[in-house]
Amino acid sequence: MHLDLVNLLLILLVAWLAGNLAERFRYPSVLGELLAGILLGPPLLGLLQSSDEIAILAELGVLLMMLYIGMEIDPGELVKASWAGFLAAIGGFITPFVLAYFTVIWFGGTTLAGLFVGIAAAITSLATKSRILVDLHLLDTRVAHVLMAGALISDTLALVVFAAIMGVVDVGSVDLAGIGLVTLKATVFFAVTVAAGYKLFPWVGRRLTDAGLTGRTFHFTLVLLIAVSFAELAELAGLHSILGAFIAGLFIRDNVLGRTLARDLMEAVREASLGFLAPIFFVTAGFAVSFRVFTGADLGLFLAIMAVAIVGKIAGTALFYLPSGNGWREGLTVGMGMNGRGAVEIIVAGIALERGLISQEIFSILVFMAIFTTAMVPMMLKWGVDWLRDRGELVRAHDERRGTVIVGAGPLGRLIGRLLSPARPVWMLDSNPERCAQAERDGLQAYCGNALQEQALSEAGAPQADSLVALTTNPEVNALAARIAREVFDVPEVYVVQVQQEVKERDAALRHLHASSLFGGSVARGEWERTVAMGAYRETQVEVEEPATGEDFARKLREQGKVLPVAVRRDDDVLPFHAGFPLRAGDRVVVLRRDAKKEELPEAFRRVIRESPVLDLEGPLSVDEFFQQAAAKLTEGATEAERLALLEALRDREAAGSTVLAPGIAVPHIAVPVPGAQPFLIARCREGIAFPEEDDPVRSAFVLVRGAAGRGFHLQALAAIAAAARRDDFDERWMGARDADELRKTLL
């Protein structure tokens, strides 16, 4: 086998020139490549020829192109348009498929020819739509979302039907056993690929990120391996390899690679396919075209197929689209946009011709149908969009986003989530498993992950959200999460908690991102976290009497004492309160007011504190060294077995999730009763205890052991710790205490 490099060079050169010329006239490059193959290949001038080696490169180009098409469309991004897109896809698939099938039968064609012409008429080109929508500046409209969702569903249906027919053809019969075998193999294929895509790929992506394997070349090779593996799985299942490559692309998502890397790899695949290998396929596809379709009986068949394909696609889409409630004019516009076929149709037709399932005349008809219908789309779609815009019916995509991502699932974040969730989707994101578990117990959707990793934000709903709230204990994390939300996921509204006395550089960075201050201005976040944790607040509503900004309204509220505005109820929606909120008369602001009575502690509990053991340590210590000393102190006078039981319980609790409640303060607590152990321990470590994954060393530690007092004792202890730690002079008094008695007094 010898590759004719001169012939390959000429094919690539012609494809490059013709593709760029077509794009200059705002048409997809595939049209130029097809026309170049027809003009310079065997159908007319005969200057270019195909070969076995060229055919192999063309087939590889098809695989890479189908991989790129799968990567181009994120099904998660299209959830908002899934119902309308489904209706458009079904109408745009069934109607032209049925009409084209019966047209071929009417003209004396075979059943197989009718089925393949029906599939070609039903296809809606994904790649073609993407380019046209970009050129017309329509990517942020509902029409674009519906078009892409419809094209995705339609092409997937077409590929599945095509693969099923090919499977039956390969079996060689249409008996029930043969059909059953094809169905079984296809079912296994989809089960394996879907499981791998949803479960295995994200897990592998996280492991590679943790291992520091983030290079583009490494992941590009990995993507190619996945695509070829899926293509081979499809072949083993009796389907076609292009379906496997397409599905592989669908699952190589942001939650696997991160949005930035996923975009880079998609561009790399695009360049390798559309820039090199795929043009070889489309130029050589033009070689098989015959102009006999424009003469005699073939001309009638061509005109009939063109008519039913165009009318069936537009009318079928518009008719099935009516139940979406988006209007018949939008349905017609979507139908005009879905009328183009393009690349996928040529791929299907080329495979059918190669297998001898359709004649050269039918293949030629399908190629010319792809050329003519794709050429019609830009003009028809522009006319339809202008029609909608003139009538004020063109809906922009940002109107469709809805939901709030809350980064930080502490007590305050969960409270905000509970307020918002009855009116809108809410996603909680936190790196602490215990806080995530508590959020889920509160009825909220919680995702455990790092807010600075794009895949974590993607899983937590950032692509669908219209707002993000960042209120972790780390100001840098809040600022960086806000930046990723704005720049990577295009979240329209970003709100960040501004802690009192934050640095000016961070404020400037937030202004650059157009992020607004949560709660209407800077607040003592730690104090309010502890207040909410101990339940020492009252929730009230203040009705807005006249328009104001959130910042001005919050300033007036604070004149009444320590209050925290957290949310705004407007009509049927509930929104986070922030400095830039444009309040209207009639809005109701949800306000938290501190309740001093709820902070009072029973005398019985005060007595427990006064009698509790105290550890005054120098340090520095590891968390396990601290636990060993704490377990020994709490079980003085008990058995060795009881000491070891308490030590293991503390280790298990910390392994389940960090017990650090705020910078420098930890409350290790266990719910399992340990006989012989005291219920409470106060510990100070002057040089700090190193808790896992915590930047600040812990100097104040309080160990709680569930005993006869049970849950009530734990809640009282947390209240005491929160009340003491939120005092401005707590750190100074704690580190300055001379002995155990002064440490107890500082806590009380």
Answer yes or no: do 618 and 553 share one domain.
no
Answer yes or no: do 164 and 256 share one domain.
yes
Answer yes or no: do 384 and 438 share one domain.
no
The CATH number that applies at residue 423 is 3.40.50.720
Confidence of residue 161 (pLDDT cuts 50, 70, 90): confident
Q: Which of 546, 580, 598 is the last residue of a domain?
A: 598
Answer yes or no: do 414 and 450 share one domain.
yes
Whether 322 is in a domain gets the answer yes
The CATH number that applies at residue 156 is 1.20.1530.20
Which pLDDT score, from 0 to 100, does residue 406 have?
93
Most confidently modeled range among 234-238, 474-478, 509-513, 582-586: 582-586
Which pLDDT score, from 0 to 100, does residue 160 have?
73
Which pLDDT score, from 0 to 100, does residue 503 have?
45
Tell me what percent of the chain is helix, strand and coil, each rounded to the nearest 5.
60, 10, 25
Whether 396 is in a domain gets the answer no
Cβ–Cβ under 8 Å, residues 592 and 537? yes
Which pLDDT score, from 0 to 100, does residue 708 have?
44
The residue whose two tokens read 């040529």 is 346
More confident residue, 304 or 74: 304
Which pLDDT score, from 0 to 100, does residue 559 have?
80
Answer yes or no: do 381 and 415 share one domain.
no
Which pLDDT score, from 0 to 100, does residue 102 have?
92
Mean pLDDT, all residues of the chain: 79
Q: Which of 546, 575, 598 is the last residue of a domain?
A: 598
Whether 357 is in a domain gets the answer yes
Whether 395 is in a domain gets the answer no
Whether 39 is in a domain gets the answer yes
Kindly state the average pLDDT of the residues 704-712: 60
Answer yes or no: do 51 and 121 share one domain.
yes
The residue whose two tokens read 């007036």 is 556
CA distance 589 to 567: 6
Is pLDDT at 9 greater than 80 in this prediction? yes
Which pLDDT score, from 0 to 100, does residue 715 have?
67
Q: Which of 390, 421, 448 is the last residue of a domain?
A: 390
Structural domain that includes position 275: 5-390
Is pLDDT at 447 greater than 80 in this prediction? yes
SS (H, E, C) 606-650: HHHHHHCCEEEECCCEEHHHHHHHHHHHHCCCCCHHHHHHHHHHH
Answer yes or no: do 468 and 368 share one domain.
no
Counting residues of the chain whose pLDDT is more than 90, the rounded percentage is: 6
How many domains, in total, are found in the chain?
3
Whether 451 is in a domain gets the answer yes
Contacts of 681 (CB under 8 A, 6+ apart): 612, 613, 614, 615, 630, 633, 634, 701, 702, 703, 705
Is pLDDT at 11 greater than 70 in this prediction? yes
Q: Rounded to two decimals, what is the model's pTM?
A: 0.49
Is residue 445 within a helix (H) or strand (E), and if so which, with residue range?
strand 445-448
Q: How far is CA 479 from CA 63, 319, 470, 502, 696, in A?
A: 41, 48, 8, 12, 19
- pLDDT per position as a tens digit, 229-286: 888 888 787 666 777 887 888 777 665 666 667 777 777 888 888 788 888 888 887 7
Burial pattern 305-323, b for ≥16 Cβ within 10 A else e, equals bbebbbebbbbbbbbbbee
Is pLDDT at 28 greater than 50 in this prediction? yes
Answer yes or no: do 374 and 496 share one domain.
no
Confidence of residue 567 (pLDDT cuts 50, 70, 90): very high
Which pLDDT score, from 0 to 100, does residue 246 have?
79
Please provide the distance, in angstroms rounded to a whole number, between the alpha carbons at the two ends of the chain.
Answer: 88
- pLDDT per position as a tens digit, 450-483: 888 877 888 888 888 888 999 887 888 888 888 8
Contacts of 481 (CB under 8 A, 6+ apart): 407, 451, 452, 457, 468, 470, 472
Which pLDDT score, from 0 to 100, does residue 513 have?
62
The CATH number that applies at residue 632 is 3.40.930.10
Answer yes or no: do 346 and 443 share one domain.
no
Which pLDDT score, from 0 to 100, does residue 185 have?
77
Listed as own residue / partner, the contacts of 574-577 with beta carbons closer than 8 Å and 24 or more positions apart are: 574/419, 574/420, 574/422, 574/423, 574/424, 575/420, 575/467, 576/404, 576/416, 576/420, 576/467, 576/469, 576/495, 576/518, 577/518, 577/519, 577/520, 577/550
Is pLDDT at 354 greater than 70 in this prediction? yes
Cβ–Cβ under 8 Å, residues 329 and 387? yes
Kindly state the average pLDDT of the residues 317-330: 86
- pLDDT per position as a tens digit, 195-220: 888 788 888 877 877 777 767 788 88
Counting residues of the chain whose pLDDT is more than 70, the rounded percentage is: 82
Instruction: Give residue 444's identity as a one-letter amino acid code.
Output: L
Kindly state the average pLDDT of the residues 537-548: 88
Answer yes or no: do 410 and 383 share one domain.
no
Kindly state the average pLDDT of the residues 514-540: 79
Which pLDDT score, from 0 to 100, does residue 297 have?
64
Answer yes or no: do 444 and 306 share one domain.
no
Answer yes or no: do 39 and 185 share one domain.
yes
